[in-house]
Amino acid sequence: MKRLLVVVVAGLLVAAALMVPTPRPPESGPLPDLAEPRFAVCLVEEGAGRSSEISIASFDAGGAQTDLYSNGRLVGSLGQTIPERGSSVIPVVDITAVGTVVGMVELPSSAGGAATLTRGTGSLAAEGCVSGAPTDSYLAGGNTVGGGDFDVYLMNPFAVDAAVRLAVSSEVGSESNSRFESITVLARSFVVIEMRQLIPGREDIRVNVETLGGRVVSFARQASDGLAAVWAGSEMATDWYLPLPGSGEQVRIGSPAGPDVEYQVDVYGESGTIAAVLTGLIPANGEFVFNPADHASEELGPVRAVRVITNSPSVTTLQLRGEGRFGVTAGATSASRRWVAPGSLEAPPPPESDGESEVPPLPAGRLVILNPGIEDAFVVVSPSGPSGAAIELTVPAEGVAQFDFGTADAHFIESDMPVVVLWVAGDGDALSLGVMVPGE
């Protein structure tokens, strides 16, 4: 009897051991969402005929810190307090005069941005500083023909050394050079790849910066005919918006990696929108270039903006070239209700009056605002600095509005509908996409 009892108890225990579910091992806490970056990496040039200033603009009040790094060292630093919807313009020469350096701007919050304006002899280059540090980025629109200098800047303001490789292609196909492989960018340093030295005589250079370790922020600088443009590398996306400043624009759709890319181009005119004015296939590492002005029509009027849709990630770049004008910037990957457009411009002196009629003052620059939505957008533009009160304007659905501004350190753009903002200096001397501000 006792033995039977033992057998029964043992059987029950074995059954329990086999049937009791295996306990789940303890788990770590939930992974939080990544915060929007509160810093911006800038390409700063000071000396050798160039002079930069850094503009900082923020919806939120708080401290801002600007550090300049070179050769692994902090070479200059400036701390400031930015008021709510305030801005600050820092002539780099006030901090240090050290040539090219990596600028790291710590913003009061993620609702802000920074940009650099670099003035050379007869040239002006502007580009928003890059918030965050993408793993891969793409630069298009360079050339080394004639006296053209196309330099790629790999900026690493961080405390961790980075390693990258460059996938460079041009009209002759993929470029091969050992200098493009395993480039080490030490912490708090930068590396400049001068393409003219490596691949001279190329008309259309495209560079895909692939990160192997650490992080870098890439910029490109193109100088030719006494003009210069600076633009930042872009991450890939499938949807691109490009407000156009006026004339002389060229749009480049690049397929930096992976398979062939199918694309579709929609154009926004003064009188409406035409979808799919261009469609086609871009081979891997290839590029498609078109002039938006070619698609103007009586029905549409001049083309004011472009939207590019691709079936796989691509990069779209806007290039502006004209008489005494040169600017390059990447498109916007999405629309937003809030933007800041840091960039300090001073209105040129007004032309002399003939005494009969009042001559309107010349604008310092222009904001081009695209409303890609299907409802009109009510937009408020608030300049920071001496240029005065906020301006309210309505941007029609699937339409574009332009706003000329006078002397201002920065602009804050708020809209009830998502819009895309392009900042243009003078009459297109330089251009830069505004800095999209996440959230409300």
Partner 1 sequence: MTASTSHSAGKSDNQGGVVAATVRVLLTVIADSDLEAALAVVSRQVYEPAPEIVIVGGEPPSGMVGYPTLEEAIADSGQNVDYLWLLHSDARPRPDALAALVREMERNEASLGGSKLLVAGSRDELEEVGSATDVFGEPYSGLEEGEIDLQQYDVVREVAFVRSASMLARRDLAQGLRGLDELLPPISAGLDFSQRTRLAGGKVISVPSSEVYHQRRCGHSARGWREQAGRLRAMLIAYRPLTLLWVIPYDILVAVLDSIANLLLLRWRPAARHALSWLWNLAHLPSTLARRGSLKKVRVAGDEELFRFQAKGSVRLREVGSELSSRALSVFDDDETLSTRSRRFLGSPGIWGAILATLIAVIAARSIFFSGMPNTGFAFPFEAPSTSIDRWFAGWNRAGLGAPNPVHPSVITTAAASIVAFGATEFARTFLTLLLSVIGVAGMGRLGGRLGLRGPGRYLAGLVLLAGPGTALLTGAGSWLALAGAAVLPWMVRAVLVLPGADTKPWRPLGWAVLFGVTLASLTPLLVAVPLLVTLVVPTQGVGSTRLRAGLAGLLGGIAAVPFLLGNPSWLLDSGRRLMPVIEPQWPILIAIALGLTLLLEQPWRRVGVVGGLSALAALVVSQVSIGGPGVEEAVLIGVSFGAALLVAVCLDLLSRDPRRLAVLAAGSVVLALSVGPFLNGRFGLPAGDINDELGYTSVLVGDTGPGRVLLASVDRSDLPGESRPGPGFWYRVVDAAPITHDQVWLSPSHQGDQEFEAVLHRISRGDELHPGAALAEFAIDWVVLEGEEFRLDTVLATQLDLARRMFDPETRVFENLVPRPLAGSDTTMWQRSGAGFEGEPDTQIRIATIYDQGWRPAPVGDGWSVLVDATQGEASFRGSLLNRMLPVLALLLSLAAVVSIGYGRSRR
Site for partner 1 in 362-391 (CB under 8 A): none
Query: Residue 370 CB, nearest distance to partner 1 (Å)?
Result: 30
Site for partner 1 in 80-99 (CB under 8 A): none
Q: Does 17 bind partner 1 (CB under 8 A)?
A: yes
Pick one of 1, 20, 374, 389: the residue that binds partner 1 (CB under 8 A): 20
Place of tokens 């600007």: 66
Of the candidate spans 26-34, 141-149, 191-199, 356-364, the one that interacts with partner 1 by CB under 8 A turns out to be 26-34
Query: Residue 34 CB, nearest distance to partner 1 (Å)?
Result: 5
The pair of three-digit structure tokens given for residue 356, joined into one six-digit string: 């009969």
Q: Does 29 bind partner 1 (CB under 8 A)?
A: yes
For residues 110 and 415, which CB has a smaller minimum distance to partner 1 in the complex? 110
Q: Cα–Cα distance between 278 and 318 in angstroms, integer? A: 16
Using DSSP, state whether 308 is helix, strand or coil.
strand
Q: Does 132 bind partner 1 (CB under 8 A)?
A: yes
Q: Cα–Cα distance between 379 and 391 in angstroms, integer? A: 8
- In 3D space, the residue among 255, 388, 410 whose CA is nearest the CA of residue 344 turns out to be 410
Count the Cβ atoms, other than its own, within 10 Å of residue 236. 22
Total residues contacting partner 1 by CB under 8 A comes to 43
Q: Does 11 bind partner 1 (CB under 8 A)?
A: yes
Q: In sequence order, what are the residues at sequence separation of 6 or more whose Cβ sits closer than 8 angstroms to the Cβ of residue 24?
A: none
Site string for partner 1, 151-190 (x = CB under 8 A): ------xxxxxx------------------------x---
Site for partner 1 in 215-274 (CB under 8 A): 215
Using DSSP, state whether 426 is helix, strand or coil.
coil
Q: Does 24 bind partner 1 (CB under 8 A)?
A: yes
Question: What number of CA atoms fall less than 13 Å from residue 173's CA on the CB side?
Answer: 1
Task: Decide: 364 and 406 in contact? Cβ < 8 Å.
Answer: yes
Of the candidate spans 10-18, 282-290, 335-343, 345-353, the one that interacts with partner 1 by CB under 8 A turns out to be 10-18
The pair of three-digit structure tokens given for residue 160, joined into one six-digit string: 């961790």
Q: Cα–Cα distance between 266 and 269 in angstroms, integer? A: 10
Task: Decide: 410 and 343 in contact? Cβ < 8 Å.
Answer: yes
Pick one of 1, 8, 26, 91: the residue that binds partner 1 (CB under 8 A): 26
For residues 60 and 161, which CB has a smaller minimum distance to partner 1 in the complex? 161
CA dihedral (195, 251, 243, 113) in degrees, to 10, reads: -20
Q: Does 6 bind partner 1 (CB under 8 A)?
A: yes
Of the candidate spans 9-17, 223-231, 349-357, 398-406, the one that interacts with partner 1 by CB under 8 A turns out to be 9-17
CA angle 136, 312, 178 (to 5 degrees): 35
The pair of three-digit structure tokens given for residue 264, joined into one six-digit string: 């579709």
Using DSSP, state whether 6 is helix, strand or coil.
helix
Using DSSP, state whether 3 is helix, strand or coil.
helix
Please name the amino acid found at residue 59.
F
Q: Does 214 bind partner 1 (CB under 8 A)?
A: yes
Query: Residue 6 CB, nearest distance to partner 1 (Å)?
Result: 5
Site string for partner 1, 31-70 (x = CB under 8 A): xxxxx-xxx---------------------------x---
Site for partner 1, rule CB under 8 A: 3, 6-7, 9-11, 13-14, 16-18, 20, 22-35, 37-39, 67, 104, 106, 132-133, 157-162, 187, 214-215
